[in-house]
Structure 1
Amino acid sequence: MGSDTVPLSIRGLDYQIGDRKLLSGLELTVRAGESVAVMGPSGSGKSSLLSLAMGLVKPQAGQVRIAGTDLCGLRPAHVTRLRRQHIGVVFQFGELLPELTPVENVSLPALLAGKDSHAAYEQARRLLAELGVPVDGVVTAGLSGGERQRAAVARALTESPSLVLADEPTGALDEDARDHVADVLFAMPERRGCGLLVVTHDRTVAARADRTLHLRHGRLVAASGEESR
């Protein structure tokens, strides 16, 4: 498989905040059609790893390649363009605008990318219907927690990303809603050919991934204790 077909490839990543080193020589590959879960205690650097994968912060050393392109050497405008083209993100609390309808929320990435509004709204309606979210007669504030998170997943899929990043996507949900959202998330790699990287504290959610890795002392290790590649 060529490097341009790998949604996420991280090599030799060092990252620190002040005198505190969070990541040290970290290695990670997330392939198309694959789901990877990352676990670790609070403060271990999981959220920093996602920020680095999105190009929101720069490491002290190493490479972060998205679909074959190293983010670390790009200008901010180019990073933004690459992120918009290749990355979808699902946050713990959805980060949707409550006063908008689900269709309006989900269509925002396409509209910001300059897509035709009619086509963007139709695509949003299809995605929401596919994920079981109401599309008529409701604003986002009127959705249940699980429906909001599924709407957030739909928004992440709008631009057909190579890579989906999910930061504690079920952390604010009850058990039934958690399971439904997890069903949707972990079906995406096979159905859409994208890579999925999920950060979670929930072992039940992590167990659904093709691989589960633990962030320890700045590096990712599998259950066997071997470092991830």
Structure 2
Amino acid sequence: MAAGGPVLNVSGLSYQVADRVLLDGVDLRVRAGESAAVTGPSGSGKSTFLGCVLGLIQPSRGSVEVAGTDVVRLRRRALERHRSRHIGVVFQFGELLPELTPVENVALAALLAGAPSGQAYERAERLLGELGVPYNGVPTGQLSGGERQRTAVARALINEPAVLLADEPTGALDAATRNSVAELLFEVPRRWGCALVVVTHDPEIAGRADVRVELKDAAFVPHGSGARS
């Protein structure tokens, strides 16, 4: 990957199911330290786009380069290694194990990626401290919604990914907590030097991004443009 080039480079990405086209030649490039927001109505293909970036959905054509490697061309084991090393994900409902403590939830992601136990727990505690999450043995299920999402962000960051994906990360939060989590998320590219891609229905959240596109008629339309990209 060339110095200063995009750490996420989606080019000509297309996908269809039967005769329904969900993605039709979409492009998106995000550099380290930058953020992008993808909006669009339910069923427009936003989740399909994320699935392609994660390598979970095989597009009909196009490429998805993450940290210089096209994940579309990787075999399963190589894809799993590349995804674990270079992509972090924050889901709408956190997808954390409620019976584990925040430290255990975050450290688990590092352990699964092959980090030594001591290093995994040390990094987990440091990240949670930086993100303002208590980790004094309380089960994650007893945390507030905002604390759980901050724990999810820590888990996504622990393997120092090149790209952080956030799928409706504030959709299950109240207004005050939503703003707090959004502020944290959009600080991530600057503080941790990764690219951030947020998929959201919320125009206020999307408005925080450096780049904003709407998925409309299977294409990415730049925010404020009525024309097909």
- For this structure pair, what is the TM-score category when the shorter chain's length is used for normalisation? over 0.9
SS across alignment from 1:15: strand
Cα distance in structure 1, aligned partners of 2:133 and 2:181? 11
Counterpart for residue 47 of structure 2:
47
Cα distance in structure 1, aligned partners of 2:134 and 2:141? 12
SS across alignment from 1:136: coil
Cα distance in structure 2, aligned partners of 1:216 and 1:140? 37
**Correspondence 1:16 to 2:16:** yes
1:37-88: CA deviation from partner (whole Å, max 9, x where unpaired): 0100000000110110000111001111111111111101111111011000
Query: How far apart are residue 12 of structure 1 and its match?
Result: 0.8
Unaligned runs of 5+ in 1: none
**Taking structure 1 as reference, are residues 115 and 206 closer, same or farther at Cα in structure 2, changes over 3 Å only?**
same
**Taking structure 1 as reference, are residues 143 and 149 closer, same or farther at Cα in structure 2, changes over 3 Å only?**
same
1:118-164: CA deviation from partner (whole Å, max 9, x where unpaired): 11111111111111111003000100011000000000000000000
Q: TM-score of the superposition, structure 2-length normalised?
A: 0.96
Q: Within 5 A, what are the aligned runs for 1:152-163?
A: 152-163=152-163
Query: How far apart are residue 211 of structure 1 and its match?
Result: 1.5
8 Å contact kept, 2:4–2:31: no
Counterpart for residue 77 of structure 1:
77
Cα distance in structure 2, aligned partners of 1:59 and 1:3? 27
1:76-124: CA deviation from partner (whole Å, max 9, x where unpaired): 1111111011000000000000000000000111101221111111111
Unaligned runs of 5+ in 2: none
Query: How far apart are residue 227 of structure 1 and its match?
Result: 6.0
8 Å contact kept, 1:189–1:196: yes
Q: Within 5 A, what are the aligned runs for 1:200-211?
A: 200-211=200-211
Counterpart for residue 28 of structure 1:
28
Identity %: 58
Task: Read off the aligned partner of 2:53 and give its amino acid letter.
Answer: A
8 Å contact kept, 1:4–1:68: no
SS across alignment from 2:93: coil
8 Å contact kept, 1:100–1:139: yes
Q: TM-score of the superposition, structure 1-length normalised?
A: 0.96
Counterpart for residue 173 of structure 2:
173
8 Å contact kept, 1:4–1:67: no
SS across alignment from 2:49: helix
Count of paired positions: 228
Task: Read off the aligned partner of 1:211 and give its amino acid letter.
Answer: V
8 Å contact kept, 1:5–1:67: no
SS across alignment from 1:189: helix
Task: Read off the aligned partner of 1:49 and give its amino acid letter.
Answer: F
8 Å contact kept, 1:87–1:162: yes
